[in-house]
Structures are given as C-alpha cells and as structure tokens.
Amino acid sequence: MRVSLTTLLASLVLTACDGGGDPVQQALRETAAVNQSATVRETAAVYDPASTDQAWVNRMVARHREAIAAADVVLAQSRDPEIRRMAEAVKDARTHEIAEMQAWKPSATPGQ
C-alpha cells in the first residue's frame, strides 16, 4: 500500500507541474489534486457496507467542487451571456447540493 500511495502522489505532483494550457483544465487538475487526498482516505470505507453512503456523499461533494471550479473559471473569463448564465446555474445548484449532502446524517434504520 505504501508503494502504491507513493506512486499515486508522485503522479499527482507531475500532473500539477503541467503549466499553461487551458485554464479550465488547470482548475480541474488543481481541484482533482485536492480531492484525491480525500479519495485516498475514504478508499477503505468503500469496502465497509456501513460506510457506503458516506463514501458516496464524499465523492459527490468532490465532483461538485470540480464543477464549481470550472464554473468559476468561465465566470472570470467568458463574456458570452448564455455561457455565464449556465455557469452561474451550475455553481448555484452544486453549492446548494454540497450543503445538502454535508448536512446529511445516516438514518437510524439501515435502508431507509
């Protein structure tokens, strides 16, 4: 496990060194690097049926943060009103969904 984690971190560092290019891709790479550490921590939880719900919430929050990061880049750079409207809608919806998921608490009875 130590070797594979080291390899994973090395590949993330090399990916993070990729300079220039598309700003949306750069924002996604930066957000993915932050989210990757959370994914590594939750990997063990995926194999525990009692933690499946929480693992799903964690993954969805990470994905929503990536969408928000991409929307922020578009809002900072795009002048197209329709694209800006869509980016605002994505940002608003994902922000609301993140808050909803973070407020979630496991039900007392499994399966409900």
Q: What is the pLDDT of residues 25-61, one digit of tens each?
A: 888 787 777 777 666 665 555 566 558 888 889 999 9
Predicted confidence at residue 67, as pLDDT, reads 97
**pTM: predicted TM-score of the whole model, two decimal places:** 0.57
Predicted confidence at residue 87, as pLDDT, reads 98
Q: Are 24 and 74 in contact (CB under 8 A)?
A: yes
In this structure, the number of other CB atoms found within 10 A of the CB of residue 104 comes to: 10
Three-state SS string over the chain comes to CHHHHHHHHHHHHHHHCCCCCCHHHHHHHHHHHHHHHHHHHHHHHHCCHHHHHHHHHHHHHHHHHHHHHHHHHHHHHCCCHHHHHHHHHHHHHHHHHHHHHHHCCCCCCCCC
Predicted confidence at residue 19, as pLDDT, reads 55
